[in-house]
Amino acid sequence: MSVNLQTPIDYLKGVGPNRADLLRKELGIYTYQDLINLFPNRYIDRTRYYKVNELQRNNADVQVVGTITKFEEVAQKNGKRLVATFQDETGTMELVWFRGLKWIRESLKLNKPYVAFGKTNWFSGKYNMPHPELELLEEHEKNIRSAMQPIYPSTEKLSNKGISNRVINKIIQHLFVETKGQFSETLSENLLSELKLISKKEALFNIHFPKSQELLAKAQFRLKFEELFYIQLQLLIKNLIHKSKIKGFPFEKVGSYFNTFFKDHLPFELTNAQKRVLKEIRADLGSNAQMNRLLQGDVGSGKTIVALMSMLIALDNGFQACLMAPTEILSVQHYNRLYELCNSLNISIKILTGSSKTLERKEIHESLENGELQILIGTHALLEDKVKFKNLGLAIIDEQHRFGVAQRSKLWHKNLSPPHILVMTATPIPRTLAMSVYGDLDISIIDELPPGRKQVKTVHRYDKNRLNVFRFIRDEIEKGRQIYIVYPLIQESEKMDYKDLMDGYESIARDFPMPKYQISIVHGKMKPADKEYEMQRFIKGETQIMVATTVIEVGVNVPNASVMIIESAERFGLSQLHQLRGRVGRGAEQSYCILMTGHKLSNDSKTRLETMVRTNDGFEIAEVDLRLRGPGDIMGTQQSGVLNLKIADIIKDNDILKSARYHAKRILNNDPTLTSTENKVLLHTYKQLSKYKNIWNYIS
């Protein structure tokens, strides 16, 4: 049978049906190609052979050459262990096994030279090596051997079923023998020479059987570059196809709605960042392609105004616009803000949420379809089949990571041809991740806060400082300010959350008694109407303290609130802490964020708290978050597994990622269809990768 990398793994020497089944289930290895792409996690230096008298008490992996002079089974509390005496000319040590004794006992040969490899322990006056890898010296010298011993990803089940690291190494050796190491090149001559990359064949050999540290480094660089390069190529091609195939409505003019608002009703001077972003959006809306843009801006950077001005361009061209937000609270807030701003322009704007009354809904549906309603704000309710627009020109999605891909595409299909899409987020996405995950969206960033905003001062306090913190709250309330106190929400134990919140509320009510102090309480179990009532009391300044769970993470705007206290701050993720802090610092007064914790903190918690105290920069915080949590988590469950990379790491290999994107962009600029002779190999590989999705289906 001819060998092809898509050959099922069952056919490889040393595998067979049972092992193949385990490899499929445990490591997702179906074909020869998958096996060759199972890259080692780490390497152990096997260049050095130790003498028994050179061993150190450091529990390191070592290899020793010696002979087994005797072995015996020793009874112990639960069962038996097998102990062999292993010696060389300098001394003796013990080899110990606790399982698989019968098979091991039968395979041991006395007085033959062996190489024993494993971790050593010092136990009652001598060294022992539990469950060593044992190989007869003559076999050891025959194998494809490299100075660096690869250690492959594994699972408990594989180890228990006897598929050890050595077995995996062995079947990969068979694969190289069967394929004669003939792996076709996947990068163009130009890239290879410009970046001084080694060939694919050399790289694969040296990643599995590195001859030296230097060759290993070259192999890793080559394979990481290739992996990231094809992801970038795929994203950029997706973007190009999108722009050429999906025609948007060209908004040819900027008319009276936009101009009147800009000249007469703009509540403050736009920052340079807002002007730059508006320019990018106007260019998109004026071209023939559909806009697909991600707008990132830290909490309070003024995304709402940019969103409104983009909608006004749609209205100027005779189209409708909508804005979809993930929660009712956030939708109501957007609506109130936009209603105020649109009032003077005589624009018809409505809100649609889960709690909209039937009559209201009916009116909204009718006025949408006949085109009277110009702007609709809402939650997921906008996705219902009954919601039909006459001509939707621009759809804005806020906090997009809370909507799945399927939900976004529903908005698209509200029209005969898809509207322009603007996705907004206040969760800064690290550049690295943005390039990899949203590489098919154009990205705009508002990276400066409106003038006159003061940085929020952040401090970390332990529970024992609570009395001082309460004293500080009293002082702030005396000055006429308002306070948030937020408790964590941990889905698994709603009972516990509720109890924490209620205990907290009671202790605050004791320290801040009525009638002098008024306290609002808001949590997820409340009816929307009750929640809204409590929110409104706080917004109007009727209550000084708002005790809440993380319901208020996104979008409550109370400029007079100057203190955010986060209880059990160690139980929050970084991006959540940053979002919560963004609820204060919206007025001209100095604002504070106080992170309260117990004394027992993990290293990660310490890092998170130190980062919050050190910086207010959302992008820096996002980078730390990415390092702590890894890419899958940051994107939330909808996007998890977005980057199940085989060898590259988008955090550590940030520079390679930038280089890969730069080269992919440059190649596509000169040859968008990859049809030139020199890019033939890239086109062929790209098609192969798209065909066998199981290898490269990274893209969210």
Question: For the chain, which residues make up each domain, given as ranges?
Answer: 47-144, 200-245+652-696, 256-286+302-425, 457-615
Average pLDDT over residues 654-682: 93
Reply yes or no on whether the pLDDT at 109 is more than 90: yes
Between 3.50.50.60, 3.30.1280.10, 3.40.50.300, 3.40.30.10, what CATH number should domain 457-615 receive? Answer: 3.40.50.300
pLDDT at residue 180 in the model: 87
pLDDT at 204: 95
- Give the tokens for residue 401: 């990571």
The position carrying tokens 């040819």 is 252
Return the residue matching tokens 């001509």. Answer: 391
Q: Which has the minimum average pLDDT: 2-6, 154-158, 606-610?
A: 2-6
pLDDT-based confidence at residue 401 (cuts at 50, 70, 90): low
Q: Is residue 630 scored above 70 in pLDDT?
A: no
Which class does domain 47-144 fall in?
A: mainly beta
Token pair recorded at residue 310: 């983009």
Confidence at residue 157, expressed as pLDDT on a 0 to 100 scale: 86
Calculate mean pLDDT across residues 674-698: 77
Of the candidate ranges 91-105, 136-150, 458-472, 599-613, the one whose mean pLDDT is the lowest = 136-150
- 544: Cβ–Cβ under 8 A, 6 or more apart, which residues? 477, 481, 482, 483, 512, 517, 518, 519
Left if phi > 0, otherwise alpha if psi is -120 to 50, otherwise beta: which for 563?
beta
The predicted model gives 400-414 an average pLDDT of 63
Helix H segments across 524-653? 528-539, 574-581, 603-614, 618-629, 631-634
Give pLDDT, residue 501. 79
For residue 515, cis peptide bond before it (omega within 30 degrees of 0): yes
Q: What is the pTM of this model?
A: 0.65
Q: How far apart are CA 148 and CA 138, in angstroms?
A: 19
Q: Tell me, what's the pLDDT at 499? A: 66
Which of 210, 215, 167, 206 is closest to 46 using CA atoms?
Answer: 210
pLDDT of residue 559 exceeding 90, the answer is no
What confidence tens digit (pLDDT) does each residue in 149-206 have? Answer: 898 988 888 888 888 888 999 999 999 999 888 889 999 999 999 999 999 999 999 9
Instruction: Give yes or no for residue 637 having a pLDDT over 80.
Output: no
The DSSP secondary structure of 573-587, one letter per residue, reads: -HHHHHHHHTTS--S
Average pLDDT over residues 662-678: 94
* Confidence bin at 698 (pLDDT 50/70/90): very low
Which of 382, 384, 387 lies closest to 398, judged by CA? Answer: 382
pLDDT of 440 higher than 70: no
Bridge partners, 443 (sequence order): 294
Task: Give the pLDDT score at 439.
Answer: 66
Report how far Cα 339 is from the mean position of its chain's Cα atoms.
Answer: 35
**396 vs 299, more confident:** 396
Mean pLDDT score, 24-50: 88
Q: Report the amino acid identity of residue 350.
A: K
Average pLDDT of the residues in 73-99: 92
CATH fold for domain 256-286+302-425 = Rossmann fold (3.40.50)
Mean local confidence (pLDDT), 309-317: 96
**Between these two residues, 175 and 144, which has the higher pLDDT value?**
175
**Number of CB atoms found within 10 A of residue 691's CB:** 10
The answer to whether the 47-144 and 256-286+302-425 domains have the same CATH topology is: no
pLDDT at 634 over 50: no
Strands 80-88 and 61-75: antiparallel
Q: In the chain, what percentage of residues exceed pLDDT 70?
A: 90
Is pLDDT of 641 > 50?
Answer: no
What confidence tier does 551 reach under pLDDT thresholds 50, 70, 90? low
Cα gap 535→525, rounded to integer Å: 15
Of the ranges 166-170, 462-466, 578-582, which one carries the lowest mean pLDDT score? 578-582
- Polymer length of the chain: 700
- Would the pLDDT of 298 be above 90? no
Cα gap 410→506, rounded to integer Å: 45
Per-residue pLDDT, 696:
36
In what helix (H) or strand (E) does residue 27 lie, and over which residues does it extend?
Answer: helix 16-27
Cα–Cα distance measured from residue 457 to residue 122, given in angstroms and rounded to the nearest whole number: 53
Q: What is the mean pLDDT of the chain?
A: 86
Cα–Cα dist 478/452, whole Å: 23
Band of pLDDT at residue 408, cut at 50, 70 and 90 = low
Q: How far is CA 664 from CA 201, 341, 416, 667, in A?
A: 22, 43, 33, 5
Nearest in space to 437 (alpha carbons), one of 147, 661, 112, 662 = 661
